[in-house]
C-alpha cells in the first residue's frame, strides 16, 4: 500500500515524458547554463575591447552590443517557463490531487494541458526574443555607433572575445529550446492517449 500523501506524489509530473523533461532534461539544461554559460560568458565584458581602447568607449559599446547579458536572459527564460507548471502543481497539492486524478478527471486534464501549452508559448517567445537579441551567430567584429558618446568616435570597431565558442553555445541554447517544445508537444499527445485509454477501459 502506498502511504505517500497525494500532495507529495504530485511533485512528479503525471506523464513519463513530463518526468523525463523535468528530472533529466531540465537538470541538464540548468547545469549547462550554470557551469558552461559562466565559463563562456563570465568575463566577456572585461575582454570586450574597441579601437581606441578606452574604458568608457568599451563600456558604452558593450552595452550596445549586449542590451541584456545572455546568462540573465536564459535564467529568466528558465524561471518563466517553470511558472505555469509550478502554479498547477501548487494548486493540485493544495487540493490533494494525485497523478491519476489528473488523467481521470477532465477538468484537471484540461488545466494540465493548458499549463503545458503555456510552456510551449513561453519557449517560442523566448526563442523569438533570443534570435532578435543575439542572432544565430556571434561575429568576431562588432561595429559600434559611438557618436552619441563623442563625435570623434563615430563608428568604431570592437573585438568580440571567443566568438566561435559563443556561437556554439548559442546554437546549443536554441537546440535546448527546440527540444523542450518537442517534449511538451509529445507530453500533450501522451496525456490525450492515456486519457482516451482511461475512457475506453471504463
Q: Which residue has the cell 540548468?
A: 30
- Going from N- to C-terminal start, the domains of the chain cover 15-199
What CATH number labels 15-199?
1.20.1440.80
Q: Which residue has the cell 493548458?
A: 114
For the chain, the residue count is 202
Enter the pTM of the model. 0.81
Pick the closest to residue 109 from 9, 13, 27, 5 (CA basis). Answer: 13
CA max distance for the chain: 79
pLDDT of residue 152: 67
Residue 143 C-alpha cell reads as: 561595429
Q: Which residue has the cell 556554439?
A: 168
Beta bridge partners of 158: 50, 142
Say whether pLDDT at 9 is over 60.
no
Q: What are the tens digits of pLDDT across the range 65-82?
A: 998 888 889 889 888 988
Amino acid at each position: 500500500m502506498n502511504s505517500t500523501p497525494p500532495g507529495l506524489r504530485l511533485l512528479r509530473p503525471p506523464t513519463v515524458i513530463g518526468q523525463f523533461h523535468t528530472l533529466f532534461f531540465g537538470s541538464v539544461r540548468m547545469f549547462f547554463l550554470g557551469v558552461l554559460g559562466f565559463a563562456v560568458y563570465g568575463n566577456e565584458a572585461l575582454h570586450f575591447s574597441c579601437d581606441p581602447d578606452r574604458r568608457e568607449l568599451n563600456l558604452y559599446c558593450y552595452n550596445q552590443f549586449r542590451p541584456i547579458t545572455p546568462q540573465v536572459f536564459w535564467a529568466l527564460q528558465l524561471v518563466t517557463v517553470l511558472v505555469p507548471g509550478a502554479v498547477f502543481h501548487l494548486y493540485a497539492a493544495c487540493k490533494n490531487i494525485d497523478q491519476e486524478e489528473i488523467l481521470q478527471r477532465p477538468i484537471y486534464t484540461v488545466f494540465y494541458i493548458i499549463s503545458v501549452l503555456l510552456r510551449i508559448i513561453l519557449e517560442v517567445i523566448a526563442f523569438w526574443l533570443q534570435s532578435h537579441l543575439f542572432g544565430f551567430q556571434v561575429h568576431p567584429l562588432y561595429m559600434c555607433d559611438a557618436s552619441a558618446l563623442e563625435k570623434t568616435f563615430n563608428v568604431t570597431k570592437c573585438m568580440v572575445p571567443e566568438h566561435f565558442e559563443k556561437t556554439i553555445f548559442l546554437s546549443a541554447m536554441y537546440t535546448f529550446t527546440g527540444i523542450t517544445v518537442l517534449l511538451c508537444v509529445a507530453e500533450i499527445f501522451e496525456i490525450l492517449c492515456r486519457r482516451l485509454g482511461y475512457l475506453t477501459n471504463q
